[in-house]
Structure 1
Amino acid sequence: MIDPLNRKIVNILLEDSRTPYVTIAEKINRSESTVRQRISKLLEKGIIEKYTIQIDPAALGYNSVAYIGLNVESPKLLKVLRDLKKVEGIVTISTTTGDYMILCEIWAEDGVHLTKISEKIEEIDGVLEIRPSMILDKYYL
């Protein structure tokens, strides 16, 4: 658990990970050195793992974005995860509870490309079932 001040810092960085320390300091009414020290500790503790960017897939030519739920043979889960990392077009892989053991986010140029990616996934030894769901819109908090 983090304290309320660190929570404010994290929330600002979630909006824009490039926010300068001086800007964060102004927003939370603290000194830049306080912000710098707190972010350093958040990094050391692994609370902040890395700074990233948010990309619009359509701007890169990926007009078909989908989640694919997978069920796999339990003993082959780790092998399937390793094989999924090699499939071009998969941008995230998550293990989950619920209806699927694995959930992948796919970026494809179009429906034909999405079908080809789905077929590559189906060919992986240990995959029992795949269920694609097209993403209509994505909202960031």
Structure 2
Amino acid sequence: MLDELDKRILYFLQEDGRRSYSEIARILGVPESTVRVRVKKMLKNGIIRKFAALINPFKAGYEIVAVIAVDVEPNKVREVAEKLAELNEVDVLGIATGAHDIFMQVTVKSLRELEEFLLDKLGKIEGIKSTETSILTSVKKWGYARVF
């Protein structure tokens, strides 16, 4: 469970993942070793998955961000989700409740690449019954899980 200090450390790391432990410690009024130990513990426990750069795909040459809803044969949802999660184009994937079994966000460079992804990659995964694809025309917020 996260306490208030952990949440404050995460806040500063989410604002700038390059921020040093000593700077965070100074802001929070705690020893640098406290920040270092707590971050190490959050990494070990999977609270912090990894440190990575958040890129804007549109500025990096990717023109298509799509949300794809996937309907799957009964009893194959986990198996299909695991196969989909292995695909490089998939940014976010989750098993869902409601009208569709799986939702995923996919980023590709062009409509042609999206077509190839849908036909050549999804089309070869056994258990997928149907898909529904929505292309985002703009993105108003790029984010990540907030804990505060």
TM-score normalised to structure 2 length: 0.81
Match for residue 91 of structure 2?
Answer: 91
Aligned pairs (5 A) from 1:109-128? 109-120=109-120, 121-128=122-129
Match for residue 139 of structure 1?
Answer: 141
Aligned pairs (5 A) from 1:23-102? 23-102=23-102
Conserved in 2, the CA contact under 8 Å of 1:87 and 1:117? no
Conserved in 2, the CA contact under 8 Å of 1:72 and 1:101? yes
Match for residue 4 of structure 1?
Answer: 4
Q: Could you list the runs of 4 or more consecutive aligned residues of structure 1 that deviate by over 3 angstroms after TM superposition?
A: 85-88
Q: CA RMSD in A?
A: 2.0
Conserved in 2, the CA contact under 8 Å of 1:122 and 1:130? no
Conserved in 2, the CA contact under 8 Å of 1:122 and 1:129? no
Cα deviations by residue, 1:22-80 (Å, 9 ceiling, x for unpaired): 11112212221221122222223332232222122123321011110101012222332
Aligned-residue sequence identity (percent) comes to: 30
Structure 2: unaligned runs, 5 residues or longer? 144-148
SS at match of 1:74: coil
Tell me the matched-pair count.
Answer: 141
Distance 1:44 1:82 in 2: 23
Could you say which structure has the higher helix fraction?
1
Conserved in 2, the CA contact under 8 Å of 1:63 and 1:109? yes
TM-score normalised to structure 1 length: 0.85
Identify if the C-alpha distance between structure 1 residues 95 and 32 changes in structure 2 by more than 3 Å, giving closer, same or farther: same
Conserved in 2, the CA contact under 8 Å of 1:69 and 1:103? yes
